[in-house]
Amino acid sequence: MVRVPRLLPVGALVLLSSGLLTGVFGALIGAPGLSAARAWAQDAAVDTSGDDAAPASRGRRRGRQRPARTEKKAATPPGMQQATPVAIFGDWNVFVNGDGRNKLCYAIAQPQTRSPKTLKRDTAYLFVSVRKGENVQNEVAVMLGFPSKPAASQIKPGSAAAPTDPSLNLGSSRYGLVVKDGNAWLQNPAEEARVVSEMSARNPKLIIKTTSMRGNPTSDEYALGGFAEAMKRTREECGR
């Protein structure tokens, strides 16, 4: 039997209390956020027009593109604008919010590749939070960017894992996820330290697999280059 943990982890509660993630996680506790109808609309059917561009790029003038900038910008998800970016390592950004016992630090990244490319959805983020005051050390959370079908054990406790269950994949290791309103956490919080350790090892990538509410299999691939350094800096920031 897989134990389904709390739907709102400690780190998310901290962010909500500071007003940082009201827009993203607010729906979990009844605060203003994405309505069920809007969340459903964000998971549109696969676009068959053949245009693989992200929805936000539609309507832009086609032609010669400007050269990509070499410097990287901090990946700041909606609602986190109050947090302070402190470092960038590869695809991973380190943010800090608050001070003292209320200090929250986290490493965050966006997926390098998403599949299918033509599935309309919001930007996704994967982040690991540390908050010494609440003894939070390795809280893994995902903003999927669309509502996902829950795991079989979420629907019926005690059910065996299904192949289509949402999961976090590292090499040959597969970890079940619990989902709610487009957000996801590890089903078993006791596995967080192991997941973070594997992310910091030699695994080149991490893959989040889900099935959308309309039955579309999805896969978001995160590059792990720089994660170990980002996590080290995250811990240092919250250790001060």
Distance from C-alpha of 199 to C-alpha of 171, rounded to nearest angstrom = 10
More confident residue, 237 or 5: 237
Looking at this protein, which amino acid is placed at residue 10? V
pLDDT for the residue numbered 4: 31
- Whether 16 has a pLDDT exceeding 50, the answer reads no
Question: pTM score, two decimals?
Answer: 0.70
Q: Helix, strand, or coil here: 57?
A: helix
Q: Helix, strand, or coil here: 221?
A: strand
Domain spans of the chain?
10-46+73-238
Instruction: List strands edge to edge, sheet with 205-211.
Output: 84-89, 92-97, 104-109, 125-131, 136-143, 183-186, 173-180, 167-170, 205-211, 217-223, 113-115
Write the pLDDT tens digit of every residue in 68-107.
333 455 565 655 668 899 999 999 999 999 888 889 999 9
Q: Helix, strand, or coil here: 31?
A: coil
Distance from C-alpha of 186 to C-alpha of 139, rounded to nearest angstrom = 9
| Mean predicted confidence (pLDDT) in 8-31 | 34
Write the pLDDT tens digit of every residue in 214-225.
899 999 999 999
- Residue 203 is encoded by which pair of tokens? 């695994």
Write the pLDDT tens digit of every residue in 159-214.
998 889 999 999 999 999 999 989 999 999 999 999 999 999 988 999 999 999 98
- Whether 125 has a pLDDT exceeding 50, the answer reads yes
* CB-neighbour burial class of residue 74 (10 A; exposed 0-12, middle 13-18, buried 19+): middle
pLDDT for the residue numbered 77: 60
pLDDT for the residue numbered 185: 96
Write the pLDDT tens digit of every residue in 43-76.
333 333 322 223 333 333 334 343 333 345 556 5
Q: Where are the alpha helices (DSSP H) in the chain?
A: 10-17, 22-25, 36-42, 152-155, 192-200, 227-238
Distance from the Cα of residue 176 to its chain's centroid: 14
CATH architecture of the domain with residue range 10-46+73-238 = Sandwich (2.60)
Q: How many Cα atoms occupy the beta-carbon half-sphere of 2 within 13 Å?
A: 21
In 62-216 the beta strands, taken as DSSP E runs, fall at 84-89, 92-97, 104-109, 113-115, 125-131, 136-143, 167-170, 173-180, 183-186, 205-211
Cβ atoms 25, 12 nearer than 8 A: yes
